[in-house]
Amino acid sequence: MWSSNVLTGKELSISGISATLLAQEFATPAFIMDEADFRTRAISWDDALKSAFGEHAGTVYYAAKAFLCTEVARWIKDIGIGIDVCTGGELAVALAGGVDPAKIELHGNNKSVAEINKAVSVGVGTIVLDSLFEIDRVAAAATQHGKVQKVLLRLTPGIEAHTHESIATAHEDVKFGFSIASGSAWKAIEAVRTHSSIELRGFHAHIGSQILDTGSFEVSAERLIALLAKYREAFGVELPELDLGGGYGIHYVPGDEELAPSVAMQAVASAVKTHCAVHSLNVPKISIEPGRAIVGPTMFTLYEVGTIKDVTLENGDNRRYISIDGGMSDNIRPSLYKADYTAVLANRTSTAPLLSTRLVGKHCETGDILIYSIELASDIAPGDLLAIPATGAYGRSMASNYNHVLRPPVIAVKNGKARVIVRRESEADLLGLDI
C-alpha cells in the first residue's frame, strides 16, 4: 500500500519528513509522491520484461493516464522506458518532459485528425489503431508528412477480466478495439494492408485494470498469437510485435495481493512461448503498459480533518462521519467504482477505542465518500491529519474542480527533501478561463 520510504510509526513520515511538516509547508490536501519508489518500480517492470523475454523483450510503456506531469516525464526519460499516451494533451506533456518521440505510443478510441497529425509529425514511434476511420486518417497523415508510420491494431480478444465492469476492456461489448471473434479484426488487417504509408507491426490488447491474477493475460496472449499464425498463413510473413497492455493490480487495503513484476512477466512469457511453439511461430517482441503498478503505491494523499458528526442508523447502530478537506474532486474512484482504500492517523498515534467510521469529503454530494467503512480512533479531532495510501493512479489525473474546489498539488519527496512538481491551483486559475 505504502511506498518503500514511508514509515507509519508514531507519526507518518516519508524519506524522513513528517506528515506534520509536509502539511505546514505545503498545506492540505496534497498528493505526496515518493520519487525514489517511482523510479524503482518503473525499473523493476523493465527488468522483469527483459528477464522473462530476453531478446524478445519490447518496450515498457508507462501508461500516462494513471498520472503524468512534465517532471514524471523527465523521470521516464531518465529511466529509459517509453510512455503510452491517449490524447494530444498527454502527448504534449510527454514531449515537454523530453521523452524521445520514438518511445511514445499513441492510443485512444477517438483520436482527432489534429492529434494524429501531431503524432505523425513529431515522429511518435507507434500508433495503436482502434477503428477503420483511424486507419484511413493515420495513412493520410503519414502520406502528408512523407512518412511510413508504424502501427498496431487494438484487438478485442473476448475476455471477461476479473475486475470492475467499468474498467474491464476486452469483452465484446466495449468501445475499444476490433473483435477477433466477429471478424472485424481481420477486416482491419485487410484495410491496413491497402495503405503503403502505414506499416502493420502487430497487435495490441488491453484486457482491463486492477487485475490481480495472470490467467487473463495468458488467455489474451494465446488468442493474439493464434491470429498471428492466421496472418502468416494468409500473407506468408510473421508480424514482429505484440503489446499485451497493462492492468496489473496493486495493494490498496490490508489483505490485498499485488502482482509482482517478475511473477507476472514469467507467467506471460511462459504462455507466449508455449503458444508460439504450438503454431511454429517466432516469439515476437513483447511490450507492456503498466501505469497503476508503477505510480499507484508511490503516492499518498494527506488531508486535514474538518468536522466530525455522529449518526444513529435505522438499526440503532452508530456511525461516525469524519469530513476532510478534499473528497471526490481529488479521488473519484470510490464514487465511480466503489474502490476500497484505507486511512491512518498521520500526525500522531492514538490508543483511544476504535469507532466505525465513514470518511467523507466536502462536496455537496451524498456520494462524496472516500472510505465507506473503517475503524478509526475515537479521539480524532478537527485539525488532525489523515493519510490515504496508494492514490498515485487515477487520483490527481482524474481530479476535477467540482464545487470550484482547487485541485491539490503534487509534492515529490526524495532523499529527505520535498518539492512541488505540480502546484496547487488558485482561485485565479479558476477565474482565468472565464470570459
Residue 313 has φ and ψ, to the nearest 5°, of -85, 170
Helices (H), 17-131: 19-26, 35-53, 70-79, 88-96, 113-122
Lookup result for grid cell 498471428: 228
359/370 Cα distance (integer angstroms): 6
Q: Are strands 299-312 and 30-34 parallel, antiparallel or unpaired?
A: antiparallel
Among the listed residues 69, 86, 276, 364, the single catalytic one is: 364
384/24 Cα distance (integer angstroms): 12
Q: Are strands 299-312 and 241-243 parallel, antiparallel or unpaired?
A: unpaired
Q: Are strands 13-14 and 104-106 parallel, antiparallel or unpaired?
A: unpaired
User: Helix, strand, or coil here: 376?
Assistant: strand
What is the largest distance, in Å, between two alpha-carbon atoms of the chain? 73
DSSP3 helix / strand / coil % (the chain, rounded to 5): 35, 25, 40
CB 41 within 8 A of CB 60: no
Q: b or e along 227-259 (b: 16 or more beta carbons within 10 Å of the residue's beta carbon)? A: bbbebbeeeeeebebbbbbbbbbbbbeeeeebb
118/121 Cα distance (integer angstroms): 5
The DSSP H or E segment spanning 182 is none
* CA distance between the termini of the chain: 43
Burial bucket for residue 109 (CB in 10 Å: 0-12, 13-18, 19+): middle
Q: Is 364 a catalytic residue?
A: yes
CB 239 within 8 A of CB 155: no
* 240 Cα distance to chain centroid: 26
Which residues are annotated as catalytic?
A: 364
